[in-house]
Structure 1
Amino acid sequence: MKLIYTFLVLFVLVSCKKAPTQLTKITAKTTVVDSTVASTTTITDFVAPYKKQLTTKMEQVLSYTPINLTREDGKLQSTLGNLMADMCLDIANPLYQEKTNNTIDFAMFNNGGIRAPIPKGAVTMQHAFQLMPFENELVVATLTGDKVAELVSFFIENNRAHPLSKEINLILDGKDYTLMIHGKPLERTKTYNVLTSDYLQNGGDHMDFFKNPVTLTPLDYKVRDAIIDYFKKTDTLKVSLDNRVISKQ
């Protein structure tokens, strides 16, 4: 009797066991989020104070420019490109000195990294975010003299106003050039500390000369933060096209 009872219990358990569930079909529906979608008052009310706070922050005036700053007002240099390179170096150099007891020789960034112009007038937090919306960070790549020569060749062949800092004086005559760094001719046997972004140092925008440097020093400082900090400490931005890049043709 006990054996029969045990068998019946096992039979019931096995019979009640569900078969494994298998996924046989997936359906999806696309909902377009636009002005035709009615807003939810609860969500709108919840977001409102944060939106107001963000708007107030973005409208904060940091500096002033007496002229329009763009990346297109010169052939091989620009007012905004010059400003970009110079202000990043200004902020980065003390950090690099603290880390290495050395100084930065010059800075180079890419023309495409300048994402928006700054119009004449008040310079706001929003302008800084529009100028550099990415999370790129500043790094210093120590390059050989030969690598710096590759940098110049890239600049000439690319024929764009890639931002170079004022420590550079590059005179172009066709494919020939004269390069001065801090007033001294380029020396192939020396190394040079070049400020750039981590994106470019990894070969972004085809700037492969930044790869495999002699040493690489991350500054743990976002490019955008450097821009904001420079704007905050500079009442009026003084920028012009100068002699850092001169073409004889």
Structure 2
Amino acid sequence: MIRGKIHIISACILLISILTACQHSGYKINNSQGSFIKTDSLVGSGRLIEAIISPYRDSLKLEMGKVIGKAEYELSGGFPEGLLSNFVTDLVPVECERNGFQKPDICIVNVKGLRIPISKGDITVENIYQLMPFENEIVYLTMSKDQVLELFDFMASVGGDGMSGASFGINGARAVDIRVQNKRLENRNYIIATSDYLADGGDHFEVFQTAIERKSTGLKVRDAIIKHIKELTASGDMISSKLDKRIYYAQ
């Protein structure tokens, strides 16, 4: 049965190759005929295929179902700040330091990239994969004072986003009363930890593309979240977060 499938597939590939070759050589098809073949009877599950896939599927299911922590209450996204984005941006600098990197001044994540909330109760590995389904890597960007100001103005213009290490108020479409590590902006360079997606200008963060320097950490955002939850659980802590007006609407 499998051998028969291979012959059919090979024949299709050969036909496509011939037709493609004809097109490149200048020939045109004047007439063609075709018919539909139901693939249900050809594909099937197959005992051999099932025997090969089953161990990997079962192992993956077991790993994804592992409980790695417990949330004290639901952590969801929001603007201008949210419990979920505060939790993630707070843990990224910690995990970067634990992996030998210097502590960044600021961490930025996009709320839209956090796909589901962390529900109250048990947290599984699968939950975090659903939360962060992308292979985003943490990168370090070096940015000037003016570039940081431009970054915060952009974030203010869209109503806030995920951030730690800094605070600012939103006045219209501008960032006001800016603080970085509890200090006013200084005429120096700042280190910002973010995802490679945002660093590439994703979600309209074009300002990141003007960074003075970019450094890869090799750390996945998702892996950092999983590791941090495991570490908190090992210390006997439940997963929690808080709103602290790191981004707020100025009066």
| Range class of TM-score, shorter chain | 0.7 to 0.9
Aligned to 2:26: none
Among residues 69, 83, 87, which one is paired with 1:83 in the alignment?
Answer: 87
Whole-Å Cα distance in 2 between the matches of residues 229 and 205 of structure 1?
Answer: 26
Alignment match, 2:47:
41
Could you tell me which residue of structure 2 aligns to residue 214 of structure 1?
212
Alignment correspondent of 1:156: 156
| CA distance in 2 between partners of 1:93 and 1:113 (Å) | 23
SS in 2 for 1:234: helix
5+ long unaligned stretches in structure 2: 1-17, 23-28
Aligned residue identity for 2:109? F
How many residue pairs get aligned? The number is 217
* 1:178 is the counterpart of 2:177: yes
TM-score, normalised to structure 2, is 0.78
Find the counterpart in structure 2 of residue 145 from structure 1: 145
CA RMSD in angstroms comes to 2.4
The CA distance in 1 between the partners of 2:81 and 2:189, in whole Å, is 25
What are the superposed Cα offsets for residues 23-65 of structure 1, whole Å, 9 maximum, x if unpaired?
A: 56696858677xxx85333323332222211111001111111
Partner of 2:201: 203
Of 31, 42, 54, 2:60 maps to: 54
Per-residue CA deviation, residues 51-108 of structure 1 (Å, 9 max, x unaligned), is 2111110011111111111113xx30111111111111211134453xxxx4310100
Q: Please, which moves more after superposition, 213-222 or 139-148?
A: 213-222
User: Runs of 5+ in structure 1 lacking a partner?
Assistant: 1-20
Provide closer, same or farther for how the CA distance between residues 61 and 202 of structure 1 changes in structure 2, counting only shifts above 3 A: same
Partner of 2:249: 247
Aligned to 1:126: 126
- Checking the alignment, whether the CA contact within 8 Å between 1:96 and 1:104 is kept in structure 2 is no
State how far apart, in whole Å, the 2-side matches of 1:63 and 1:46 are: 32
Corresponding position of 1:238 = 240
> Structure 1: how far apart are the matches of 2:56 and 2:48?
14
Listed one character per residue, the Cα deviations across residues 102-150 of structure 1 (whole Å, up to 9, x for unaligned) are 4310100112111121110111110111111111111000100101011
Distance 1:139 1:71 in 2: 22
Q: Contact 1:71–1:111 (CA<8 Å) still a contact in 2?
A: yes
- Secondary structure at the aligned position of 1:119 is classed as coil
> What TM-score do you get using the length of structure 1 for normalisation?
0.79
Residue 117 of structure 2 aligns with an amino acid whose one-letter code is: P
Give the match's secondary structure for 2:163.
Answer: coil
Q: Conserved in 1, the CA contact under 8 Å of 2:200 and 2:208?
A: yes
> Secondary structure of the residue that 1:141 maps to in structure 2?
strand
CA distance in 1 between counterparts of 2:90 and 2:159 reads 20
User: CA–CA distance in 2 between the matches of 1:185 and 1:28?
Assistant: 71
- The CA distance in 1 between the partners of 2:202 and 2:54, in whole Å, is 39
Q: Is the Cα–Cα contact under 8 Å of residues 116 and 130 in structure 1 kept in the other structure?
A: yes
Go from structure 1 to structure 2 and tell me whether the alpha carbon gap of 1:38 and 1:196 turns closer, same or farther (over 3 Å shift). Answer: same
1:124 to 1:157, Cα distance in 2 relative to 1, 3 A: same
Partner of residue 109, structure 1: 109
Task: Write the distance in 2 (CA, Å) between the matches of 1:62 and 1:227.
Answer: 11
CA distance in 1, matches of 2:37, 2:228: 45
The answer to whether the 8 Å contact 2:142/2:211 transfers is yes
SS at match of 1:246: strand
CA distance in 2, matches of 1:117, 1:32: 39
* Cα distance per residue 1:154-181 (max 9 Å; x no partner): 1111124x2101x212123333511111
